Amino acid sequence: MQYKVLAYYVFTEIKDPVAEVKRQKEILESLDGKARIYISEEGVNAQLSLPAVNTEAYITWLNEDPIYKEAEVKLHDWPEHAFAKLTVKVRKELVAVDRKIDLSKRGEYLSPQQWKEKLDHKDNETILIDVRNNYESDVGHFEGAILPDLETFRGFPEYAKHLAKTVDTKKTKVMMYCTGGIRCELYSALLKDEGFDTVYQLKGGVIQYGLKEGKEHWKGKLFVFDDRMVVPISPDNQEIISKCKFCGNESDTYYNCANMDCNELFLSCSACVEEKKGCCSDNCLSIGRVRAFVNREKPKPFRKLTKDEKLSISST
């Protein structure tokens, strides 16, 4: 069976987020969908996977609802579900920045074609910023992009303040991008609050760019927040720019540390992770509760163990 991985977001008033959670669950359960969807009073942020034969029915459901009229759905093929379960939750914020943001200030959209054209003719007064976390940009980014050392979404507001002190906010033009576009909606408004006059955001993010324009100007792969973890942005995108943390050889495969008290996300080649039994360090291997490691060609993110599984590991 073939599957489709879908991603979209929409900023719109949701009067009853709890009721919308129920509606999303009902349609997705009927279509054998699995997902990670967050719903708040300000909108919906959705990533999900469906059997390919059921995708059209879900998109039709979206198109028939005024709530989702602005949603731009991005689709990828995948041989299995990209999510382990169906999760639809109410969230206070769609992106965790811990502050209210005026979306009327958000940056100007650039289509993938316009983005490529601006990169083709980028001038010295334009800076290109990757607003994703460091573990995302490590495996792939646009050529020449500034890569802030951010560990969480909450780190960008402080970075925006720092950037405003290091460049001329009136002359500097900013091009910013993220995975699917939603972070730029908020982060571009933050830059406007810091005094930047000209801020552009890549509409649909890197996902849409890859679908429309391919790999030009892009280095490496794309990190995604589902079971796929790292994917090419287009069929011909096979470049690896990241390295195994142990031996330094090329690798864009992420693992979660098998030590249950660590769980760090780290890059490793197959040989080294086998030697370390799935742990990110010798210390993690020798101390603490370590999950059994099975080396797979395409590892998936760590799944929380059941209480009995944790007790079993602790007693060994």
Listed in sequence order, the DSSP H helices in the chain are 17-30, 52-63, 112-120, 134-137, 156-166, 182-193, 205-213, 270-275, 282-286, 307-314
Structural contact between residues 88 and 35, judged by C-beta atoms closer than 8 angstroms = yes
Cα 252 from chain centre: 15
- Is 178 assigned a catalytic role? yes
Structure tokens at 300: 């998936």
Q: From the candidates 178, 184, 244, 284, give the one annotated as an active-site residue.
A: 178
Structural contact between residues 290 and 279, judged by C-beta atoms closer than 8 angstroms = yes
Structural contact between residues 180 and 224, judged by C-beta atoms closer than 8 angstroms = no
**Residue 113 — φ and ψ, nearest 5°?**
-65, -45
Structure tokens at 255: 């693992």
Cα 301 from chain centre: 14
Widest distance between CA atoms in the chain? 62
CA distance 255 to 302: 8
| Sign of the dihedral through C-alpha 255, 257, 262, 263 | positive
Structure tokens at 305: 């163990």
CA distance 127 to 196: 12
Catalytic residues: 178
